[in-house]
Amino acid sequence: MPFVSITRLRVRSVRYLPAFIFYSIRSVRQASAAPGNISAETFKDTGWVFWTRSVWRDEASMRAFMTSGPHLRVMPHLLDWCDEAALVHWTQTSEDPPPWPEAHRRMLAEGRRSKVRHPSEAHRQFDIPAPRG
């Protein structure tokens, strides 16, 4: 069954944006070319918030991507670059990416925080506004 991965990150300072964007572009390219990837995209929300939405043939394909290449290299930096980070995964019957309202609903109901070293109050409270896309 297709495996969905949704992430939401908020960059905490403009000084981290150039490197964040550089690695975001590389990671989306990596995901799009990865074995088992069905779709991968990013969405720039307001306030330096970035969402990703990807669909994979299975969880193993997503994990192989996540633990290699540019994505693996950037993950440790997100601890300092971001003050909000969350993710949610699930399986579904369709290979179509879920609509953003469904991704948000799942994030609130089933998602979890990722570790950041400088958490915002919204991160502590798991307060995640709906994407504006």
Query: Which DSSP symbol is given to 39?
Result: E
Of 11, 100, 95, 91, which is closest to residue 47 (Cα–Cα)?
A: 11
Looking at residue 92, its pLDDT comes to 97
Residue 130, C-beta contacts closer than 8 angstroms, at least 6 positions apart: 100, 101, 104
Q: What pLDDT digit, counting tens, does each position of 70-80 carry? A: 999 999 999 99
pLDDT score recorded for residue 43:
92
Domains of the chain, earliest start first: 3-125 (3.30.70.100)
Output the pTM of the full model: 0.95
pLDDT at 52: 96
Which residues of the chain fall short of a pLDDT of 70?
133
Q: Give the pLDDT score at 133.
A: 62
Task: Check residue 90 and give its pLDDT.
Answer: 98
The phi, psi pair for 94, rounded to 5°, reads -90, 150
